[in-house]
Amino acid sequence: MSEHLTAEQRQTLRHALEKEGEDLREEIRSELLAADLHRAEDIADRVRDSGEESVVDLLADIEYAAIDRHVQALQANERAQQAWHSGGYGICLDCGEPIPFARLEAFPSAARCVNCQSAVERADGPPPRL
């Protein structure tokens, strides 16, 4: 465990990670139920033509994209919890420097410091505007 965090900060972050994981699991469960119900109702009861079916498909895609984002966040949370148990929590994956408590408190699953995360987002971001 990173020595830059106090015992109290480590406890606070451990609880925040656990709560984040629980919240994400519940959100995914609720979204899956709502998406399946919504899709089944729309297809069974309302779809009469291809235009309506396209709208239903679009809505389902949007719902499943939100679910996918939550699944990715849950995976990040689980990696952070594994790092917690192995002693690597709070250390940036890229530069190896401690991640400040304020960042971890705001985003308990953070795997990178702000500078390294910004570099990743710039590299993976949309192409520049012409």
What pLDDT is stored for residue 74 in this prediction?
94
Neighbours of 113 (CB within 10 A): 21
pLDDT tens for the chain, 130 residues long, are 557 889 999 999 999 999 999 999 999 988 888 776 655 555 555 555 556 666 666 666 777 888 889 999 999 999 999 999 999 999 999 999 999 999 999 999 999 999 999 999 888 766 555 5
What's the CA gap between 55 and 90, in Å, rounded? 44
What pLDDT is stored for residue 118 in this prediction?
92
Domain 7-124 has CATH 3.40.91.50: no
What pLDDT is stored for residue 64 in this prediction?
81
What pLDDT is stored for residue 4 in this prediction?
83
Q: pTM (2 decimals)?
A: 0.74
What's the CA gap between 48 and 56, in Å, rounded? 11
Q: Catalogue the long-range contacts made by 22-27 (C-beta closer than 8 Å, 24 or more residues apart).
A: 24/70, 24/73, 24/74, 24/77, 25/74, 27/70
Residue extents of the structural domains in the chain: 7-124
